[in-house]
Structure 1
């Protein structure tokens, strides 16, 4: 299981900074469905409440979907501490790197349309990158999707990248993907020869977003909306940058003293609109996506097989990198699950599909630290 995309250096970099953003007013009402009559409501709710307490999160969401019982969604705690707003099952939240699954689907659909191949070279697809990214003529689409390109990962590796968010999040929010690549990626040496090792990099997906836009002549958010969101009826999901007052606020214990700070402005500056982690969605919409994807309603059978096939390299533990094409492989008590973890300073989100019983698991909290997710082993069988 690969859990990445958390700005791990920020607590060190802050060094006493107290000037944090004023929280926005509460979100507009959504229409929550009640699950109190679900046969396992009390069991699931108790597990979710325990998870929230152990994670020290203001609020948490959980979705369980399994054969033989109706879908259940629960929400506990707060979405906005300043206004003491209750978290609701229908609330929208940042999903972080779960976004990579959607971008991978769009890339594979381009292959199905004959507009690219997984073995096409980066320098061929984006000729302007030749000489700007080392070995761009050797890096393939497959390498980008599977994190085997060797390209650096600014959000997790660059102090300068992280400081740019802390120092002036509004300026960082205005930077284009090309400007991010120019500042933090171009000219930087690769970690390894493409295809020889595995190293998570959000920059891989910045580049995939550019490839998709170049091949379609549309903005990435338009592609995802037209190919995935609207066809599946995911009406509460989007990638384009919008007013985020309807999005759950994100929090972090920046100094390790238990005090939570609203860091939504950093999350927004770092992720909103980005191909690496910019989607905003709901628990129900994420389940709809996973259901459609893994049950063969979004991609052809061959494409889905390519997507979930494990990346095998001698440099990975036991030879299994636990990653496919935009899909993490989680080792669970119910066998391997496919999906993705997403995280930023103030959020953690998880989406998993269990092939053994076609179950779907969504877990979210508005606190950016890691968490013990063993409740899925108790709840998904």
Structure 2
């Protein structure tokens, strides 16, 4: 049962009239609380926000505020699609673990056991890192994401909107780089790990990555607003997007002539595409779809028991394990997060988008927030999208559901 859903226009902030809330009787308190949450979020300068909260197997509440396009003044809709960045990894990890359970993928083998290394650049640890360590970022394989040239060409001054990146193209930027550490020795988040996983999935199945994800996950769960952008058609497209053009961003990434200024601190990055991210972060989705996905992961009803157990098993690195942050196979746990409670899920950040998808441990409550503004390479210590989720939305959810301090 869906309890209720609302949409608020930014006219509310300008003294106009908001779209009428659609609610079941007795929901006024909830309506008021989360209306204020959205208003607070937009008052922080976030162009558009889509929030969905799940309880049990239902969408308990969902709402939006702001614009899908600042120039056209198009409001965010409940089914609007946003870039979800590294939340993409949760889909890729489950696909890989399903293949492992089917006996098609051996997690103790290394990438070079499956991939033709003559077709790839010189990548450190490619013949040493078990595939399990790709899933949990303990491979020691360097990431292309922070290579200066890749940043400028993938997210900055040298972006070419008409260029669709090849699936392995980003790997050229780590050609010849030294390994960060021996596999399993430490933890270091690396987009390269999931690019390699995407290539491995395609190699052993003979299918496109998006086909495997769609057939294994999206279709069975009816996630009808979720797509791997640039590699499959996205009906209706996705929202316009923006990025914080801070001095740090302009210094590191540079200002593309294809990204006009939306206001004194935002550039419009809508002409870019997400092919730069592919298996590491190239999917788009809606907030309600991500609630359904998180619910499927939380309850485990969707996955075989063996897959589920492996997915959530944490293998601490041999050196430098962080007891408050544990990255399993495509999912992480943060403890404590709020009021002494842990959360599980994933966040995502790419050019023009920021996303949060977490559930409160030992509860059936899922909280998803999608915004059409990015903060990668901005140097912002607490960007508004993070501040909104952690300091406004999460406390409101705890208050509403009466979740006490541990």
Mapped partners of 1:221, 1:197: distance in 2:
30
Q: Equivalents in 2 of 1:204, 1:69: separation in Å?
A: 33
The answer for the alignment partner of 2:334 in structure 1 is 330
Change (3 A) 1:214 1:68: closer
How far residue 47 of structure 1 moved from its aligned partner, in angstroms, is 1.2
Q: 1:378 to 1:309 in 2, by over 3 A?
A: farther
What is the total number of aligned residue pairs between the two structures?
Answer: 345
TM-score (norm 1): 0.83
Aligned counterpart, 2:177: 188
User: Following TM superposition, by how much is the alpha carbon of 1:33 offset from its aligned partner in structure 2, in angstroms?
Assistant: 11
Counterpart CA distance in 2 for 1:91 and 1:358 is: 25
Say which of 342, 345, 353 aligns to 1:347.
353
- Tell me the equivalent position of 1:294: 298
Distance in 2 between residues matched to 1:254 and 1:41, nearest whole Å: 34
Aligned match of 1:18: none
Matched, 1:62 2:66: no
Contact 2:89 2:280 in 1 (8 A): yes
State the Cα distance separating 1:294 from its structure 2 match: 2.1
CA shift for structure 1 position 236: 1.5
Distance 2:74 2:121 in 1: 51
C-alpha distance in structure 1 between counterparts of 2:36 and 2:79, whole Å: 19
Please give the alpha-carbon distance, in whole angstroms, between the structure 1 residues aligned to 2:267 and 2:198.
32
Structure 2, gaps ≥5 residues long:
1-18, 248-262, 376-382
Using the alignment, how far apart are the partners of 1:229 and 1:70 within structure 2? 17
Large movers: runs of 4+ above 6 Å: none
Q: Distance in 1 between matches of 2:214 and 2:289?
A: 13
Structure 2 partner of 1:237: 226
Q: TM-score, normalised by structure 2?
A: 0.78
Distance 2:309 2:332 in 1: 14
Note if 1:379 corresponds to 2:388.
no
Question: Higher strand share goes to which structure?
Answer: 2
Q: Secondary structure at the match of 1:236?
A: coil
Q: C-alpha offsets along residues 206-263 of structure 1, whole Å, 9 cap, x if unaligned?
A: 0000010011110001101111111111111111343686311111230368532211
1:177 and 2:181 correspond = no
Q: Secondary structure at the match of 1:340?
A: strand
Report the Cα distance in structure 2 between the residues aligned to 1:319 and 1:330, rounded to whole angstroms.
Answer: 9
Tell me how large the CA RMSD over aligned residues is: 2.5
2:123 to 133, 140, 145: 133
SS at 2:52 equivalent? strand
Aligned to 2:139, which of 128, 138, 149? 149
8 A Cα contact 1:252 1:261, kept in partner: yes
Verify the 8 A CA contact 1:62 1:363 in the aligned structure 2. Answer: yes
Determine if contact 2:140/2:182 at 8 Å carries over to the other structure. yes
What is the rounded CA distance, in whole Å, between the counterparts of 2:126 and 2:58 in structure 1? 49
Task: Provide structure 1 residue ranges, at least 5 long, that are not aligned to the other structure.
Answer: 1-31
Residue of structure 1 in register with 2:211 after alignment: 222
Task: Give SS of 1:294's match.
Answer: helix
Select the structure with the greater relative contact order (CA < 8 A; seq sep ≥ 6). 1
Q: Which residue, out of 34, 43, 50, partners 1:44?
A: 34
CA contact (8 A) 1:313 1:319 kept: no
- How far the C-alpha of 1:127 sits from its partner, in A, is 4.2
